Chain A
Amino acid sequence: MKSFSFIIVLFLSLSSFGQGWKILETHKVAFSNADVSGTFDDISGTIVFDAANLTTAKLNFKLKVESINTGNGLQNKHARGEEWFHAEKYPYIEFESTKIEKTESGFKAIGKLEMHGVKKEVTIPFTFSKKGNKGTFIAKFSVSRSEYNVGKKGNDVADILKITATLPVQKK
């Protein structure tokens, strides 16, 4: 019973004083390779992150596929279509972390990335800089679009997409 009470108290203290962060409007999730580039303008998620206590850290993100913006209206429509992200059937690209670890250059989030109906385990390296009650997460990694059946294999667009996510956050 004592240990149960302890867990409850611990949980409550984590929820009230835990490092919960809210993503600010100035976020940017960009993708690029030699053939295409653009952004996903709509991202939501839950961030619980304390660099000193990574065991409680959690990074969950949802990118709205409909918000893809390549800078060209026709390309956007094409990207949302069946051949590419199929926004109607798979409206979100989701990432859910299972473990956060410290690395030499920052941190890494290990978790499942689901895109176009395909779920795969990925490791996303990121940095976090904190200033007062605000902070910024920056993640840079690559994704092979063919592994997620996004677009046809061997077409004009290179397979590897570089992703750069800059997420300014504020303490909740």
Chain B
Amino acid sequence: MIKKIIFALSSGLLAGVVSYLYGDMIQTQLVEDYSKDVPTMAIFVSCLIGTSLATIGHWLFTKFIPKFGEFIFAIVFAGLTTASLIGVLGFVFKGETTEAHQYIFYCYAMPMHFFPFLAWYSLKSLFETK
């Protein structure tokens, strides 16, 4: 159990760090600032929630569907990750913003939505119990 918690937290933290670095790079390169729209804390918290839910989901799928649980979970996780992009597309900026700010947001936020998935699977083998 402890192992799973450490797995969820470490993969969430990894996803958060990668998201932060990626976001920082995009903002520097494209001279836009999203720190007011998406605070750093929100990035880390979202990543931690994502990987924690994934860990719980994985445990449930493999427990109750031992034969295909692993496969179904992977499909569901990938599907939900992709579906979460709707949130980025529908994001509405409050107050005065330029169109460049609104469009660059897509290439800023969309890749970030995949980082919890990638981080979770990257670290999975380290925490797998045989």
Alpha-carbon gap, A73 to B106, bound state (A): 9
Give A57-69 as 1s and 0s: 1 = Cβ < 8 Å from B's Cβ atoms: 0000000000001
Interface size on B, residues (CB 8 A): 13
- Whether B92 lies near A75 (C-beta < 8 A) is yes
Cβ-closest chain A residue relative to B91? A72
- Whether B103 lies near A71 (C-beta < 8 A) is no
Contact residues in A for B99 (Cβ distance below 8 Å)? 69, 73, 76
- Whether A69 lies near B97 (C-beta < 8 A) is yes
Chain A interface residue number, banded: 10 to 19
- Whether B89 lies near A71 (C-beta < 8 A) is no
Q: Of the candidates A71, A73, A74, A76, which one forms a contact with B94 in the assembled complex, judged by CB atoms under 8 Å apart?
A: A71
- Whether B94 lies near A72 (C-beta < 8 A) is no
- Please give the distance in Å from A56's CB to the nearest CB on chain B: 35
Cβ-closest chain A residue relative to B94? A71
- Whether A72 lies near B106 (C-beta < 8 A) is no
Give B47-77 as 1s and 0s: 1 = Cβ < 8 Å from A's Cβ atoms: 0000000000000000000000000000000
Contact residues in B for A72 (Cβ distance below 8 Å)? 90-93, 102
- Please give the distance in Å from A69's CB to the nearest CB on chain B: 7
- A164 on interface, CB distance cutoff 8 Å: no
Which of B93, B94, B105, B106 has the most chain A CB atoms inside 10 A of its CB? B93
Contact residues in A for B97 (Cβ distance below 8 Å)? 69, 71
Alpha-carbon gap, A159 to B89, bound state (A): 23
Cβ-closest chain A residue relative to B103? A73
- Please give the distance in Å from B91's CB to the nearest CB on chain A: 7
Would you list which residues of chain A between 51 and 91 have a CB under 8 Å from chain B?
Answer: 69-76
Would you list which residues of chain B between 25 and 55 have a CB under 8 Å from chain A?
Answer: none
- Whether A74 lies near B92 (C-beta < 8 A) is no
Cβ-closest chain B residue relative to A37? B92
Contact residues in A for B91 (Cβ distance below 8 Å)? 72
Contact residues in B for A37 (Cβ distance below 8 Å)? 92
- Please give the distance in Å from B105's CB to the nearest CB on chain A: 8
- Please give the distance in Å from A94's CB to the nearest CB on chain B: 23
Alpha-carbon gap, A69 to B93, bound state (A): 10
- Please give the distance in Å from A5's CB to the nearest CB on chain B: 51
- Please give the distance in Å from B103's CB to the nearest CB on chain A: 4
**Which residues of B are at the interface with A, using a C-beta cutoff of 8 A?**
89-94, 96-97, 99, 102-103, 105-106
> Contacts A70-B92, A71-B92, A71-B102 given; 7 further ones with Cβ under 8 A?
A72-B90, A72-B93, A72-B102, A73-B102, A73-B103, A73-B106, A76-B102
